[in-house]
């Protein structure tokens, strides 16, 4: 039973699993924080980070040849899923006595990829996610560029690709398909078919099924035998730290102590610890949800950003959950401990047998009903894995990304975000989003590690170019930034073009966020037209009105704007809204613009290519 349960941990949905991520960090810092006013106290000393992949290895080829490794696993991952799958595959290969090298492509010299032929019988496996408009993840950008332009000969290299994507996006799994195609074009031999994981349906199941075919296929191709011995060793040895003066790891990514001694440049591996200036509610009293406006101070221009960029926020876990897991594991949270890595070469995860018949049960009990590790430990109280086993299975708590809702033109020392707090019930269990519930309790002067992620969503260079912005709910966030920027430019005496906004919410009294600000922009002429769709008001005779309905109502004007060279921006829900809006534009192109279906499609793609149609959507 314990094995079965642990196998579920190994495949836990990322959203649920992150609820208890960083518990190790908490254990490490627990003693310190209780007597400290700041969560980031200065006493820090290196203790092996839970996932220490930060070392740069610019010559992975020599590492592979000198250590007799023939398998390279690369991951393109933004929020950790691809990285997790790469680690799991490496563990799987252990069972064939293969020590794979798992690498973040950002930590290698991408040119060395062409030298893979120097390795004896090389196998390269890629776990790559797709983002944006079919783009690579940040960490795979250089590799993508290299492979795009490469003309090397990879004959003799065998490969297989697993892509991570989501069918609600137009460019479904573009990166997986790209790498699979290009490696073959460069002469490498596909040893097992491309796997495509759909995060909208069941990515875990897609991966498990692919892996089920992948492992025997590679084993057959290389004549590898299953070994009974391999794969059972543990990665960490648990040791209590007795020294009361010991300094503890606080969850920093790269440089230990980075939260205290902040040194630019600030990025994912070196976040800036920003002070919160304001954290206020945007929804009305009658709303049954909460939407927060949060201003972070990045004084001294230490973090630069542009209107339309994203802010990544690193949360820590809910302390109640940490207490729960401590007591469920009989772990004294007042003790400081260290995890000694007993297998430096290993990535963190170890496989537990997850038989096919468990998959259905897993899909229902864990994924559909969103059970966290804590729920499982509570349900099966005889299950008490050693703390170090559990920590070995948990991936690092990942940053969450938010569209920035301010413009640096107004105040470059301040970054705003706008976020609905995720909270809902399944049965009698309350499910809480990790980061928004972490943020909701923050008050002025509290701090949080953040970094800016560049986006491609940008206002047109020419101020006179007309724009249409469509952003229901928190999809309004980047457009608040756009309006601040254009308003500032207008104040400088510049001529600005027509700006139309389509905003949507449920009810004017509940969730009409930034109402006063928007009305002021309308009054002073920054906003030319403002159309607000309410989906849950009786006045509409119970009819749900969405932004796409208002676009259609104004179709003649919308078409005129497009003919005048308008740029169109869409932000918010990818699953329904973005698709419905896109379909509405297609209808406007045909029914008002007189285009045929094919011409309408071409116009749409041309607009995307010319960056006249830009979307920042999520699901
Ligand atoms: C903002 C955003 C944009 C995305 N864009 C795409 C896309 O264009 N095509 C696609 O197939 N999947 C897209 N996805 C889905 C991710 O690729 C998928 O969730 C994947 O599992 C993430 O892997 P990671 O955790 O390793 O980053 C997107 C997800 C987000 C949050």
Banded pLDDT at 153 (limits 50, 70, 90): very high
Q: Is 12 contained in some domain?
A: no
pLDDT at position 58: 59
User: Which stretch of 36-50, 225-239, 560-574 has the lowest confidence by average pLDDT?
Assistant: 36-50
Is the distance from CB of 595 to CB of 589 less than 8 angstroms? yes
Of the residues 189, 222, 255, the one at which a domain ends: 222
Q: Are 29 and 35 in contact (CB under 8 A)?
A: no
Residue listed under structure tokens 């430019």: 489
pTM for this structure? 0.81
The mean per-residue pLDDT over the stretch 413-419 comes to: 97
Q: Note the pLDDT of residue 32.
A: 31
Catalytic residue numbers read 403, 571, 616, 618
pLDDT of residue 355: 57
Give 3-state DSSP helix, strand, coil % of the chain, rounded to 5: 35, 20, 45
Asked if the structure places residue 26 within a domain, the reply is no
Q: How confident is the model at residue 257 (pLDDT cuts 50, 70, 90)?
A: confident
C-alpha 579, offset from chain centre: 21
Average pLDDT of 424-432?
Answer: 93
Phi and psi at 617, nearest 5°, equal -125, 155
Residues 514 and 409 in one domain: no
Residue 108 has pLDDT above 60, yes or no: yes
**Mean pLDDT across 350-369:** 71
Looking at per-residue pLDDT, the higher value among 53 and 173 belongs to 173
- CB 326 near ligand 1, within 6 Å: no
**Domain boundary residue among 396, 426, 442?**
396
Per-residue pLDDT, 366: 87
Q: Give the pLDDT score at 51.
A: 38
CATH code for the domain in which residue 408 is found: 2.40.30.10
Instruction: Classify residue 16: in a domain, yes or no.
Output: no
Q: Tens of pLDDT along 184-232?
A: 999 999 999 999 999 998 898 899 999 999 999 999 999 999 887 655 6
- For residue 226, what pLDDT is reported? 87
pLDDT (mean) for 606-617: 95
Mean pLDDT within 408-427: 96
Stretch 457-483: mean pLDDT? 98
Residue 561 and residue 498 in contact, taking contact as beta carbons nearer than 8 Å: yes
17: nearest Cα among 76, 78, 80, 75 = 80
pLDDT band at 45 (very low <50, low <70, confident <90, very high): very low
Judged against a pLDDT cut of 50, whether residue 4 lies above it is answered with: no
pLDDT value for 13: 34
Q: Which residue has the higher pLDDT, 412 or 27?
A: 412
Of all protein residues, whose CA lies closest to atom 30 belonging to ligand 1? 618
- Domain with residue 73: its CATH number is 3.40.50.360
Question: Higher model confidence: residue 53 or residue 292?
Answer: 292
Same domain, 178 and 108: yes
Top mutation candidate among 88, 166, 200, 397 for ligand 1, by most atoms within 8 Å of CB: 166
Report, as an integer, the average pLDDT of 155-173. Answer: 95
Mean predicted confidence (pLDDT) in 603-609: 95
Task: Please report whether residue 525 resides in a domain.
Answer: yes
Residue 474, ligand 1, Cβ within 6 A: no
User: Which residue's CA is minimally distant from atom 9 of ligand 1?
Assistant: 172
Query: Is the distance from CB of 397 to CB of 314 less than 8 angstroms?
Result: yes
3-class DSSP state for residue 20?
Answer: helix
In this structure, of 36-50, 202-216, 313-327, 557-571, the range with the lowest mean pLDDT score is 36-50
Note whether 511 and 586 are same-domain residues. Answer: yes
Whether residue 539 sits in one domain with residue 408: no
- Residue whose CA lies nearest to ligand 1 atom number 27: 78
pLDDT, one tens digit per residue, over 128-148 is 999 988 999 999 999 999 999
Query: Domain for residue 302, yes or no?
Result: yes
Same domain, 176 and 146: yes
Candidate from 152-166, 379-393, 460-474 with smallest mean pLDDT: 379-393
Residue 248 has pLDDT above 90, yes or no: no
Residue 617 Cα: closest atom of ligand 1: 1
**Whether 605 and 529 share a structural domain:** yes
Answer yes or no: is the C-beta of 13 below 6 A from any ligand 1 atom. no
pLDDT digits (tens, 9 = 90+) for 299-324: 876 799 999 999 999 999 999 999 99
C-alpha to C-alpha distance for 28 and 31, rounded to whole angstroms: 7
Any atom of ligand 1 within 6 Å of the Cβ of 168: no
DSSP 40-69: S-S-------TT---S--S-HHHHHHHTT-
Query: Based on the domain organization, do 415 and 512 belong to the same domain?
Result: no
Whole-angstrom Cα distance, residue 240 to residue 340? Answer: 11
Q: Which two tokens stand for residue 361?
A: 């049960």
Q: Are residues 65 and 200 in the same domain?
A: yes
Look at 32-41, 156-165, 380-389, 607-616 and tell me which has the smallest mean pLDDT: 32-41
**CATH code for the domain of 375:** 1.20.990.10
Domain assignment present for 24: no
pLDDT at 47 over 80: no
For the Cβ of 518 lying below 6 angstroms from any atom of ligand 1, the answer is no
- pLDDT recorded at residue 406: 98
The pLDDT score that the predictor gives to residue 244 is: 73
The beta strands (E) that lie in 114-244 are given as 123-131, 135-136, 158-165, 189-190, 195-198, 236-240
C-alpha closest to that of 384 among 332, 330, 338: 330
305 in the same domain as 200:
no
Question: Ligand 1: which atom is nearest the Cα of residue 135?
Answer: 8
Q: Which phi and psi (to 5°) does residue 415 adopt?
A: -125, 125
511: tokens are: 């969730």
Task: Assess whether pLDDT exceeds 70 at residue 556.
Answer: yes
What CATH number corresponds to the domain at position 515? Answer: 3.40.50.80
| Whether the CB of 127 sits within 6 Å of ligand 1 | no
Q: Structural domain of residue 307, as residue ranges?
A: 265-313+399-455
Q: What is the mean pLDDT of the chain?
A: 86
- Ranking 231-235, 353-357, 446-450 by mean pLDDT, the lowest is 353-357
Report if residue 32 sits inside a domain: no
What is the mean predicted confidence (pLDDT) over 39-47?
26
| Ligand 1 probe mutation, 88, 129, 619, most atoms within 8 A of CB | 129
Above 80 in pLDDT, residue 246? no
Of 455, 475, 501, which residue is a domain's last? 455
End-to-end CA distance of the chain: 35
Instruction: Assess whether 174 and 143 both reside in one domain.
Output: yes
Over 50: is that where the pLDDT of 25 sits? no
> What's residue 347's pLDDT?
53
Mutate to test the pocket of ligand 1, among 165, 454, 475 (most ligand atoms within 8 A of CB): 165
Residues in the chain: 619
Q: Does residue 121 register a pLDDT over 60? A: yes
Burial class, 460, CB count within 10 angstroms (exposed 0-12 / middle 13-18 / buried 19+): middle
pLDDT of residue 389: 84
Res 367: pLDDT:
83
Angle at CA of residue 128, ends 179 and 611, nearest 5°: 80
Do 415 and 330 fall into the same domain?
no
Atom 6 (ligand 1): residue with closest C-alpha? 131
Q: Is 316 in the pocket of ligand 1 (CB under 6 A)?
A: no
Our count of domains for the chain comes to 4
Ramachandran angles phi, psi of 511, nearest 5°:
-135, 30
Summarised one tens digit per residue, pLDDT across range 523-549 is 999 999 999 999 998 766 778 999 999
d(CA 280, CA 445): 14
- Torsions phi, psi of 265, nearest 5? -75, 150
94 and 136 fall within a common domain = yes
Residue 165 beta carbon below 6 angstroms from any ligand 1 atom: yes
Whether residue 613 is contained in a domain is answered as yes
pLDDT band at 250 (very low <50, low <70, confident <90, very high): confident
């Amino acid at each position: 039973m314990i094995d079965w349960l642990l196998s579920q941990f190994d495949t836990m949905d990322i959203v649920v699993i992150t609820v208890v991520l960083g518990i190790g960090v908490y254990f490490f810092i627990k003693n310190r924080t209780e007597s400290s006013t700041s969560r980031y106290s200065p006493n820090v000393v290196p203790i092996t980070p839970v996932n220490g992949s930060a070392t740069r290895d610019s010559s992975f080829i020599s590492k592979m040849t000198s250590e007799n490794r023939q398998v390279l696993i690369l991951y393109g991952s933004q929020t950790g899923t691809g990285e997790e799958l790469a680690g799991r595959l490496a563990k799987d290969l252990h069972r064939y006595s293969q020590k794979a090298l798992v690498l973040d492509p950002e930590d290698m010299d991408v040119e060395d990829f062409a030298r893979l032929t120097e390795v004896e019988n090389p196998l390269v496996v890629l776990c790559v996610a797709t983002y944006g408009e079919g783009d690579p993840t940040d960490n795979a950008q250089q590799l993508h560029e290299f492979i795009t332009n490469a003309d090397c000969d990879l004959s003799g290299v065998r490969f297989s690709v697993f892509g991570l994507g989501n069918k609600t996006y137009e460019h479904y799994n573009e990166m997986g398909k790209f790498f699979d195609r290009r490696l073959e074009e460069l002469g490498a031999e596909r040893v097992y078919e491309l796997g495509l994981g759909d995060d909208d349906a069941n990515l875990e199941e897609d991966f498990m099924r692919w892996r089920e075919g992948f492992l025997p296929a590679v084993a057959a191709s290389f004549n590898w035998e299953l070994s009974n011995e391999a794969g059972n060793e543990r990665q960490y040895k648990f040791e209590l730290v007795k020294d009361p003066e010991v300094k503890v790891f606080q969850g920093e990514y790269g440089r230990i102590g980075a939260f205290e001694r902040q040194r630019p440049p600030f990025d994912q591996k070196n976040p800036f610890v920003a002070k919160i200036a304001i954290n206020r509610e945007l929804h009305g009293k009658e709303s049954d949800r909460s939407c927060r406006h949060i201003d972070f101070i990045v004084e001294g221009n230490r973090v630069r950003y542009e209107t339309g960029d994203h802010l990544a926020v690193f949360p820590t876990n809910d302390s109640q959950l940490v207490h729960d897991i401590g007591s469920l594991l009989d772990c004294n949270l007042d003790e400081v401990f260290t995890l000694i890595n007993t297998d430096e070469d290993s990535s963190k995860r170890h496989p537990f047998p997850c038989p096919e018949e468990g998959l259905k049960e897993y899909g229902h009990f864990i994924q559909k009903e969103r059970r966290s590790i804590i729920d499982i430990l509570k349900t099966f109280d005889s299950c008490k894995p050693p703390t170090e086993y559990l920590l070995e299975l948990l991936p690092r708590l990942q940053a969450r990304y938010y569209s920035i809702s301010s413009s640096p033109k107004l105040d470059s020392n301040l970054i705003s975000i706008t976020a609905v707090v995720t909270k809902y019930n399944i049965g009698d269990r309350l499910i809480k989003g990790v980061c928004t519930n972490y943020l909701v309790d923050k008050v002025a002067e509290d701090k949080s590690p953040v970094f800016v992620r560049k986006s491609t969503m940008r206002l047109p260079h020419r101020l006179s170019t007309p724009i249409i912005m469509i952003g229901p709910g928190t999809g309004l966030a980047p457009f608040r930034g756009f309006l601040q920027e254009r308003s500032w430019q207008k104040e400088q005496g510049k001529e600005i073009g027509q700006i139309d906004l389509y905003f949507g919410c449920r009810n004017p009294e509940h969730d009409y966020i930034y109402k006063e600000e928007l009305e002021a922009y309308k009054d002073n002429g920054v906003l030319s037209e403002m159309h607000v769709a309410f989906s849950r008001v009786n006045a509409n005779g119970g009819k749900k009105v969405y932004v796409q309905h208002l676009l259609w109502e104004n179709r003649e004007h919308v078409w005129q704007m497009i003919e005048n060279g308008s740029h169109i921006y869409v932000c918010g829900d990818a699953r329904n809204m973005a698709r419905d809006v896109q379909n509405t534009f297609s209808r406007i192109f045909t029914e008002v613009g007189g285009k045929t279906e094919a011409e309408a499609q071409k116009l749409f793609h041309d607009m995307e290519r010319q960056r006249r149609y830009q979307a920042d959507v999520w699901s």
